[in-house]
Amino acid sequence: MKIAERLALGDTLNRDNLVFLKQLGVSHVIVSVGGPRTGGAGNDWSDRLQGGDYWKPADLLALSRMMEDEGLKLGGLAHIPYSRWDKIIRGSPGRDEQIENWGRCLEAMAKADVRVLQYNWVIHAGGAGHHMRTSRQTPSRGGALVSSFDSSLVKDEISGHTVPIAEETMWENLTYFLKAIIPVAEALGVRMGMHPADPQMPSLFGAARIIRSRESYNRLMDIVPSPSNAITFCLGCFAQMLEPDDVYQAIEHFGTQKKIAFVHFRNVRGNAEKFEEAYWDDGKMNMLRAMQGFYRTGFTGCLIPDHTPHGIGDTKWGHRSRAFAIGYMTGLKQAVASA
């Protein structure tokens, strides 16, 4: 297992943050490519990775060299820009061209020796649908601020950014996509790790959210059985969907099948209808037991701390909380390896 962190291209990906992560003992960085640009790297290759129709090997190699210059390794990518797959997820005219371009992205990854891609199957409704919270200032331990979600505060209404799309239509579109792209990914040696819908509402803004349960992951795996058809195992999302004992069982279930591509290592309180995020040692999950499950099933990929509470005196990115998380995860990893 590798202790990793995620940085966003055009935002938090910069030399200072890379040096900080190296100082903490992080070995791998996952780069999120699909978000809005707010600053950060600001160079031609980073602009091209976020623009255009597909990634090119030279630009991914430049990104990889940026990691290597600070003694780190590019462990994978997250989020192909939504404008490159909005027709795929909706089954709209032009999806075949977008699938072709997705394949070109995978080819570029293989040529740059970047072997894991995180993605999701959620309609982006003006940016609100992918990772929605009803508050990002909920008091937690010692007054630290965390994000939270309460479904009673959300109306599943059609927005100006989306149109209704039914659950089985979403499954049909996913099946079409996976049958076209997973053979390409497998031939190239690239794994695609599906992230759950977060939150796990059946629909949001009129658009169904189908990857919201353990059973939906089993259905996903059955569409195209392949090592490349994999999971981003977000512990926080699984803990929202399930009670702790069932989460540990899910780790065993998917871990023994070698279906886990990434692990997002975070903790929560509550359930899918109402939850709040928590410090890693202060939620409903026993994170040592989770770490033992990943170790026992032979997971060798990247563990990422994921979302961070905002503590007193912290930066916007959360340097203090991330330092706590990475130290805590490193200790758990050493404990399970030496047991």
Q: What is the pLDDT of residue 204?
A: 84
Q: Answer yes or no: are the C-beta atoms of 74 and 114 closer than 8 Å.
A: yes
Q: Tell me how far CA of residue 80 lies from CA of 86, 106, 210, 297, 335, in angstroms.
A: 11, 10, 19, 29, 35
154 or 300: which carries more pLDDT confidence? 300
328 or 51: which carries more pLDDT confidence? 328
- Contact partners, residue 305, CB within 8 Å, separation at least 6: 5, 265, 266, 280, 322, 325, 326, 329
Least confident of 39-43, 168-172, 324-328: 39-43
Token pair of 55 as six digits: 């990634």
Residue 63's CB is within 10 A of a number of other CB atoms, namely 24
Q: Answer yes or no: are the C-beta atoms of 254 and 217 closer than 8 Å.
A: yes
Q: What is the pLDDT of residue 160?
A: 58
Token pair of 17 as six digits: 């943050």
Token pair of 249 as six digits: 């069982």
Query: Could you tell me the CATH number of the domain that includes residue 256?
Result: 3.20.20.150
Query: pLDDT confidence of 274, banded at 50, 70, 90?
Result: very high
Q: How many domains are there within the chain?
A: 1
**pTM assigned to the model:** 0.94
Q: Quick one: average pLDDT of 35-51? A: 72
42 or 69: which carries more pLDDT confidence? 69
Residue whose token pair is 């995978």: 106
Q: What is the pLDDT of residue 114?
A: 97
pLDDT over 70 percentage in the chain = 94
On the question of pLDDT at 128 being above 60, the answer is no
Residue 248's CB is within 10 A of a number of other CB atoms, namely 18
Range of the domain at 146: 2-338
Q: Answer yes or no: are the C-beta atoms of 18 and 72 closer than 8 Å.
A: yes
The predicted-structure confidence for 58-88, as pLDDT tens digits, reads as follows: 999 999 999 999 999 999 999 999 999 999 9
The predicted-structure confidence for 226-273, as pLDDT tens digits, reads as follows: 999 999 999 999 999 999 999 999 999 999 999 999 999 999 999 999
On the question of pLDDT at 7 being above 60, the answer is yes
On the question of pLDDT at 41 being above 60, the answer is no
Q: Collapse the DSSP code of 151 into the 3-class scheme (helix H, G, I; strand E, B; otherwise coil) and give the result.
A: helix
Q: Tell me how far CA of residue 319 lies from CA of 9, 15, 30, 42, 67, in angstroms.
A: 17, 14, 17, 22, 19
On the question of pLDDT at 175 being above 80, the answer is yes
CA 35 to chain centre: 12
Q: What is the pLDDT of residue 36?
A: 59
Query: pLDDT confidence of 205, banded at 50, 70, 90?
Result: confident
Q: What is the pLDDT of residue 339?
A: 81
Which ranges of 9-134 does DSSP label H, i.e. alpha helix?
15-24, 44-50, 57-68, 86-90, 95-111
